[in-house]
Amino acid sequence: MTITDIKTYLVHPDHRNLIFVKVITDTGIEGIGEAYSCGPDEATVKVIEDFARWLIGRDPMERERLWALMYQGTRFPGGNVTNAAISGIDQALWDIAGKALGVPCYQLLGGKCRDKIRVYQSTSGGADAKAKVEKYGYTGLKMAPHPPGSEKMAWNAVVRAAAERLGEVREAVGADVDIGVDPHAKIFEPVRALQMAEALAPFQPMFFEEPLRPENIDALAEFKRRCPIPVATGEMLYTKFEFRDLLVRGAVDIIQPDICLCGGVLEFKKIASMAEAFYVTVAPHNPMGPVATAVNVHVCATMPNFLILEYIPDDAPPRCELLREPLKVENGYIPVPDRPGWGIELNEEAFAKYPPAPWHRGFPWREDGSMGFI
């Protein structure tokens, strides 16, 4: 079996583009994956197209060899665009392997540790949180603690508002629903991150996600030693090499690699195994599309140290139209599918309804005209 072509599909169903990847073989078996939408997403598509020239004619079952070809063949360690491209292609190769062998992909990764995957969704406030728990049966949620427009507020006001917002959600869902808080790496100074953590701690958050930027791991490690909440981070890191530094420095309690960005399936599994040796759990970053969710479900099923998976519902248009049969939440969990490969199929006919569009997160200008962190 050899690779004959690699196709990409760039679609914009809601607030951002999604990048689907299809690897085609001479046997008729096709594999699908999803690359991270870094923006500009056309750049990621071009990198995938360039990798296709390296991969066409090669055996798709040689996944480790092809990963090395893409990663090492690029020469310099890649950033988000290159690693997103590698991740999407790699996922598709695993789908091919599962289909060729007639087994679900989790069987190729050591088999299941669990039969269903616990998921959480982000919430905007107390009423919304209560409604989502009642509708989906979630045992976990996540929220931004800082209020909208916080970059223009006095810091003491931001901290007070963060505690009030978390308190509102805690009161709405009760004591036993886990609530993660995510400042989105908008806080520059460790001392201010600690002030916010101390204000939020009485409400017993599940984790404090990205309290600081990822550039200074030593600063994060010092912060973690003082933080009263478990520290989670990792969505902006790539490959086992960057996660190695995070773990060795003792800078994290919960890692959050993104399978569409960190380097793909086996790289994700290696990162999780490294974390297990440090008694660190895994709560994958998963803000992308339904393909990414399916891939995560398979890989997380094989991880002894899996904690919870981020999830965006795929049960309503337009997201439900992107796959023939999206995975669904049942009482706060997604059952692990048992069909060969990832067990999903793209609904390519729907893609034309959602053409790609430029996008970016809002720019957080401060009151003095300087740029904050996104």
What digits encode the pLDDT tens for the residues 241-259?
A: 999 999 999 999 999 999 9
**Whether residues 53 and 150 fall in one domain:** no
**Whether residues 235 and 302 fall in one domain:** yes
**Whether residues 278 and 306 fall in one domain:** yes
Confidence of residue 109 (pLDDT cuts 50, 70, 90): very high
Determine the average pLDDT of the residues in 256-264.
98
**Whether residues 201 and 259 fall in one domain:** yes
**Whether residues 135 and 250 fall in one domain:** yes
Residue that is last in its domain, among 71, 103, 135? 103
pLDDT in tens, 1-43: 999 999 999 999 999 999 999 999 999 999 999 999 998 999 9
Identify whether 361 is part of a domain: no
**Whether residues 9 and 133 fall in one domain:** no
**Whether residues 137 and 168 fall in one domain:** yes
Q: What is the CATH number of the domain that holds 82?
A: 3.30.390.10
Q: Which of 251, 245, 250 is nearest to 233 (CA)?
A: 251
Q: What is the pLDDT of residue 330?
A: 96
Q: Which of 104, 68, 74, 91 is nearest to 19 (CA)?
A: 91
**Whether residues 210 and 137 fall in one domain:** yes
Identify whether 241 is part of a domain: yes
Q: What is the pLDDT of residue 357?
A: 92
Alpha-carbon gap, residue 264 to 10, rounded angstroms: 19
**Whether residues 10 and 123 fall in one domain:** no
Identify whether 223 is part of a domain: yes
Name the active-site residue from 12, 15, 146, 184.
Answer: 184
Q: What is the SS3 assignment for 125?
A: coil
**Whether residues 90 and 117 fall in one domain:** no
**Whether residues 294 and 210 fall in one domain:** yes
Residue that is last in its domain, among 49, 79, 103? 103
Name the active-site residue from 12, 146, 285, 298.
Answer: 285
pLDDT in tens, 173-185: 999 999 999 999 9
Average pLDDT, the chain: 97
Alpha-carbon gap, residue 58 to 219, rounded angstroms: 44
Q: What is the CATH number of the domain that holds 250?
A: 3.20.20.120
Bridge partners of 333, per DSSP, are: 118, 330
Q: Is 298 a catalytic residue?
A: no
What is the token pair recorded at 63? 């996944």
Our count of domains for the chain comes to 2
Identify whether 366 is part of a domain: no
- Inform me whether the pLDDT recorded for 165 exceeds 90: yes
Domain that holds residue 40: 3-103
**Whether residues 118 and 261 fall in one domain:** yes
Identify whether 350 is part of a domain: no
Q: Is 285 a catalytic residue?
A: yes
